[in-house]
Structure 1
């Protein structure tokens, strides 16, 4: 029989695609707006994703919004199940010739609901986390809605899909200082803004500097071991 407990019901609501896609579209539009005035020099800025520029990360986001499950699987087979090679191949397809071209291609998929075989909330994570991978090196910031961040943090609390998050915070107790998000019951505390917790959960070491608690060194060490990837 299906689980009809209040906790299970809340989880299903948090992951309802009909409710999540508008959030994704909002975040894509905000990112496109933030990048509208970049120079070619700025487009070449190294992102928080090791080895990728901010322009390349944006092309990666465009690729994710352009791939349906059939095309994704075809690419995986073509790359002989080398997922990193598949990511690089799709990124190159959407990079374009200039930063303005890359942005135009991204703007064309802002309202897309096409995606690889991933839950919509994982696509929200891709949009926000990679958005920060782009914004932070450029000195840009966004005031994300706390309900959106909380929904995403609750997903990462329970998942290692696409990026390790659940495993990275195992044994730690996370508490947001700007919203209701909490995770874990361990003795080692990690506290800070919801955004900083999300980014640290997904391996972005720079955001550990914004967190407090005796669990921060543990989280930092796990992120340094895993590295930051697209």
Structure 2
């Protein structure tokens, strides 16, 4: 699949998903620590809404910390935008050429897919990202990328049960390809998504 086509389709799918959320779910937590659905949605469109000079100015304000900058912008923009506007930002910019710095066009697809899963998996929605999109991202996984995202997958062999794909060596950990993609991006998943002796290592704590 052409990656730009995949990106546009993913953004439109996510806009439809966001448009369908009831109001209370916009304030529900996601797999992104400290961010609700509305902060993740705001963050996903930052690259479309901020010019390069504005982005650099925000980075200076954050004293050079990209994490501090993105967190501040997500919280401010989420507070200033309605759910309808946040969904529209994605739909209206489905074909925007934005790419994360140094990550290339695959990084743009990964940004959309993973943040979309941050929302849908945390909410318990049965959304399946088309496997051709997930396959593109799994092919780009390297030890360097897992280190960048803080994914501790040492001693583990990840095995997809819906794709002919595996990664690493060690104790088997099985799950849907999109769930394993989240693991590789440093996320922890709700219990029950992964199967294997080390499943708890990659799971969130059960709700009290």
> Are 1:103 and 2:87 counterparts?
yes
Contact 1:200 1:207 survives alignment (8 Å): no
Would you say 1:163 and 2:146 are equivalent positions?
A: no
The correspondence for 1:143, drawn from 107, 120, 128, is 128
* Distance of aligned partners of 1:207 and 1:58 in 2 relative to their CA distance in 1, 3 Å threshold: same
The question of 1:23 aligning with 2:10 is answered no
Distance 1:85 1:119 in 2: 22
The equivalent residue for 2:60 is 77
Deviation string 1:92-149 (CA, Å, 9 cap, x unpaired) is 4643332222222332222211233132212211111110111133342323222221
The structure 2 residue matched to 1:129, chosen from 114, 121, 143, is 114
Distance in 2 between the 1:152 and 1:26 partners? 15
CA shift, 1:77, in A, is 2.7
**Runs of 5+ consecutive residues of structure 2 not aligned to the other structure:** none
- Aligned position for 1:194: 177
1:42/1:130 Cα in 2 relative to 1: closer, same or farther (>3 Å)? same
Q: Within 2, Cα distance between the matches of 1:150 and 1:35? A: 24
Matched, 1:37 2:20: yes
Question: Against the structure 1 CA distance between its residues 143 and 116, is the aligned structure 2 distance closer, same or farther, given a 3 Å change threshold?
Answer: closer
CA RMSD after TM alignment: 2.7
Q: 151, 156, 159: which is aligned to 1:175?
A: 159
> How far apart, CA to CA, are the structure 1 residues paired with 2:146 and 2:49?
23
- Asked if the contact 2:44/2:112 (under 8 Å) is kept, the reply is yes
Distance 2:48 2:81 in 1: 19
Q: Counterpart in 1 of 2:195?
A: 212
Give the TM-score normalised by the residue count of structure 2: 0.82
